[in-house]
Amino acid sequence: MSKALNFGSDYYRAASAGKWPLKWYAPECIYYFRFDSKSDVWSYGITLWEVYSYGERPYRMKGAQILAMLDQGLRLSRPSRCPESIYSLMQQCWNFEGVRRPTFAELVLALSRILRVMPPPNLSPSTGSVASSCDTDTPTVLPPAPPADNMDPTVYSQSKRANCSGSGGSGANSGASDGPPF
């Protein structure tokens, strides 16, 4: 729990006082102090990236560098074990324009569709860890975390600026058949 609450140097000192966790904030929060459910969707996309990167910290840079990166249309790269369909969903959450991001209701539907078609993970009790299952008393084996040297969170993907203008494209994944339909 301490990791979830310990933002460390990930805070940006606001001119009016206090610190902000910039790495999870949508651009409109930073530039216009506008917070709503669409800015929460951006933060959810960052949290989803953290889950699929096995707890890596997003962006290995200072606040001003993050802002410049976002303004250039750059986004976090796909974690090595993240399915394209999930990464496509993350990219939709990170659309520069809040009105172009999915709602939480749309995210629930998209994730439900993805989970229905996603193949079960190849789990091995000798290499995984054990966690309790929600619907049975039998433990569920989870895959081990990937080696740290297989991931480089300092590499970012270029999101086409057209994504911000509403053309509906999502960079290199545009037209991917395994992505959600919005």
Question: Looking at the domain assignment, is residue 60 inside a domain?
Answer: yes
Residues in the chain: 182
Q: What's the rounded Cα separation, in Å, for the pair 157 and 77?
A: 5
Question: Looking at the domain assignment, is residue 93 inside a domain?
Answer: yes
Question: Looking at the domain assignment, is residue 129 inside a domain?
Answer: no
Question: Looking at the domain assignment, is residue 61 inside a domain?
Answer: yes
Q: What's the rounded Cα separation, in Å, for the pair 136 and 36?
A: 37
Instruction: Among 75-89, 149-163, 167-181, name the one with the lowest average pLDDT.
Output: 167-181
Question: Looking at the domain assignment, is residue 131 inside a domain?
Answer: no
For range 18-28, the mean pLDDT: 84
For range 90-94, the mean pLDDT: 98
Question: Looking at the domain assignment, is residue 49 inside a domain?
Answer: yes
pLDDT for 161: 35
pLDDT for 14: 47
Tell me if 84 sits within 8 A of 176, measured CB to CB: yes
Question: Looking at the domain assignment, is residue 35 inside a domain?
Answer: yes
Burial class (CB in 10 A: 0-12, 13-18, 19+), 21: middle
CATH of the domain at 85: 1.10.510.10
Instruction: Among 67-76, 103-112, 146-155, name the one with the lowest average pLDDT.
Output: 146-155
> Domain span at residue 30?
10-118+155-161
Instruction: Among 9-23, 41-55, 143-157, name the one with the lowest average pLDDT.
Output: 143-157
Task: Please give the model's pTM, rounded to 2 decimal places.
Answer: 0.59
Q: How many domains does the chain have?
A: 1
Question: Looking at the domain assignment, is residue 166 inside a domain?
Answer: no
